[in-house]
Amino acid sequence: MGRDIRFYVDSADVGAVSDLVVDNLVHGVTTNPTILERAGRSVGDIPALYERWEAEGAREIFFQTWGDSTDAMLRNANGILSLGDLAVVKVPATRSGFAAASALVSEGASVLITAVYSQAQALTAATIGVRYIAPYLGRLRDAGRDGVAEIAAMQALIEGTGTDVLAASLRSPSDVVALAEVGVPFFTAAPSVLAACFVSDASENAAAEFEAAVERGV
């Protein structure tokens, strides 16, 4: 089997997300409370967003749990999971987040540990058996760290464990490419970053020439 490689859209802007999901250019949609807030939404909108993206053909839909204790995180996670089989629960990489993630995995849930900033956290996530980890490339770099090298090290550490890297905080096509080059399989990015992955001026010019040739022939 070939290497499984996927794009996800990291947004709750329903128009921008729908364009990508309906055209089948992304595997699914990822969100977190900040992304919901930026789109003028809140956790109360989660069921309606799930329903919309499921109807549009998303294959996985990620919402992040919240709460100030493991119990609260588990309660909110179970609400997310009850939406349907496409739901993946995101859990922050904190002490109580890891405890919640472990309980969710033992119940058979698909879980992503998000805001992963160290190799030890990546390893911890793999010992728990979560499906994905989301390290933040742009934010690692903002903190003065070599994000690509650190995420490459996480990728090497967990390769073959059943836990995969789904890289986030990607700010340009070259971020995506740099991580793909070190074996990262899954990527989530804002609609603008994905749009920049799809196009180049040279391709647009070539397409215009093809169209012009067709026009000349009719």
Classify residue 157 by burial, with Cβ atoms within 10 Å: 0-12, 13-18, 19+: middle
Q: Are strands 6-10 and 60-64 parallel, antiparallel or unpaired?
A: unpaired
The answer to whether residue 171 forms part of the interface with ligand G3P (CB under 6 A) is yes
108 within 8 A of 78, measured Cβ to Cβ: no
Provide φ and ψ at 5, rounded to 5°.
-140, 135
Minimum CB separation from ligand G3P for residue 169, in Å?
4
- d(Cα 29, Cα 23) in Å, to the nearest integer? 13
Select the span of 13-21, 101-109, 132-140, 176-184 touching ligand G3P (CB under 6 A). 132-140
Give the total of residues touching ligand G3P (CB under 6 A): 10
At position 135, the amino acid (one-letter code) is: P
Nearer to ligand G3P among residue 100 and residue 166 (C-beta): 166
Q: Which of residues 180-209 bind ligand G3P (CB under 6 A)?
A: none
CB closer to ligand G3P out of 47 and 138: 138
Report in angstroms how near the CB of residue 42 gets to ligand G3P at its nearest: 16
54 near ligand G3P, judged by CB under 6 A: no
Number of H helices, E strands in the chain: 11, 8
**Contact region for ligand G3P (CB under 6 A) — 18-26, 101-109, 152-160, 164-172?**
164-172
Q: Which CB sits closer to ligand G3P, 33 or 75?
A: 33
Q: Which of 6, 52, 59, 139 binds ligand G3P (CB under 6 A)?
A: 139
Q: Name the phi and psi angles at 13, rounded to 5.
A: -75, 100
User: Which of 204, 212, 214, 160 shows the shortest CA–CA distance to 183?
Assistant: 160
- Rule CB under 6 A: is residue 116 a binding residue for ligand G3P? no
- Residue numbers of the site for ligand G3P (CB under 6 A)? 10, 32, 34-35, 136, 138-139, 168-169, 171
